[in-house]
Amino acid sequence: MANPAITASDVSVALGGRRVVRDSSLTVESGEFIGLLGPNGAGKTTLLRSILGLVRYSGSITTRAALGYVPQRHDVAWDFPITVADCVASGRTRRFGWLRRVDHRAAQEAIALVGLTEFARRPIEQLSGGQRQRVLIARALATRPDVLLLDEPFTGLDAPNTESLLALFEELTQAGTSILMSTHNLAEAAHTCHRLVLFNRTVIADGPAADILATPQPWVDTFGVSAHSPLLAAVGVAC
């Protein structure tokens, strides 16, 4: 088997004197769609930021692939006067410092991939929530990453937009892009992701979605609910 795109071993992170991630190990293989699931404050975003090298950590993280990052939508200044095309192309400047013809071409291809070609010249402040999320995904895809790290991509989106994005993510993984996605949309992730990682400051369970859904105890340990919680029933966890 080829080396994993990402290997994290015994990763711990302390913020403000409090350990928010502890002794966490995780691998991401090529073409995998992984759901990172856990309650609010579980440290999921911190783990993603550790993989990106944005926070200090102990342990080891090895990346053998180009990474793309899609932050939560509320972290973006949507009133900034910029078009969809320019916003997506700006994802290339972070890596290369200036825009070349190849950068604009990559941005156009990414915009087409997420279905926003007709909105390319529209200011981002005029977009709907679902369109804005696609802009962020296109901006990450413009760098042509091997692995996409998604932080709560469905927050504030309705069911049709969520379903549409899930279809897009499946297309990307079938084309060989790996996705590691933090989300509170448990049912959608459980029945769409190839693999689930239950996380609450550390990895509590990790495996194929069917295996993780087969027993309630890891979900109980992760979310602090009872084995007969309506939450688990909604996700489809066997009781």
Residue that is written with structure tokens 């440290």 in the block: 43
Q: What per-residue confidence (pLDDT) applies to 58?
A: 95
Closest CA to 37 of 154, 168, 146, 156: 154
Q: What per-residue confidence (pLDDT) applies to 84?
A: 95
Alpha carbons 29 and 23: distance in angstroms, whole number: 20
Q: What per-residue confidence (pLDDT) applies to 124?
A: 94
CA 88 to each of CA 17, 103, 124, 184, 220: distance values in angstroms, whole numbers, following the listed order: 37, 10, 10, 26, 40
Could you tell me the two tokens for 94? 């972070």
Predicted confidence (pLDDT) per residue in 108-146, tens digit: 999 998 999 999 999 999 999 889 989 999 999 999 999
Could you tell me the two tokens for 156? 């504030």
Alpha carbons 225 and 216: distance in angstroms, whole number: 10
If you write DSSP's letter for every residue of 15-70 in order, what string do you get?
ETTEEEEEEEEEEE-TT-EEEEE--TTSSHHHHHHHHTT-S--EEEEEE-S-EEEE
- Average the pLDDT over 13-40 and give the result: 94
Q: What per-residue confidence (pLDDT) applies to 101?
A: 84
Q: Work out whether strand 147-151 and strand 6-15 pair parallel, antiparallel, or are unpaired.
A: unpaired
Predicted confidence (pLDDT) per residue in 155-171, tens digit: 888 888 888 889 989 99
CB 236 within 8 A of CB 190: yes
Alpha carbons 237 and 234: distance in angstroms, whole number: 8
The arrangement of strands across the sheet holding 178-182 comes to 67-70, 147-151, 178-182, 33-37, 195-199, 203-208
Q: What per-residue confidence (pLDDT) applies to 145?
A: 93
Question: At residue 96, does pLDDT exceed 60?
Answer: no
Predicted confidence (pLDDT) per residue in 63-78, tens digit: 998 999 998 877 788 8
- Average the pLDDT over 194-204 and give the result: 96
Residues in the chain: 239
Please tell me whether residue 118 adopts helix, strand or coil conformation: helix
Q: What per-residue confidence (pLDDT) applies to 159?
A: 87
Q: Which residues pair with 34 in a beta bridge?
A: 180, 195
Name the pLDDT band for 3 (thresholds 50, 70, 90).
confident
Q: What per-residue confidence (pLDDT) applies to 93?
A: 75
Alpha carbons 106 and 142: distance in angstroms, whole number: 5
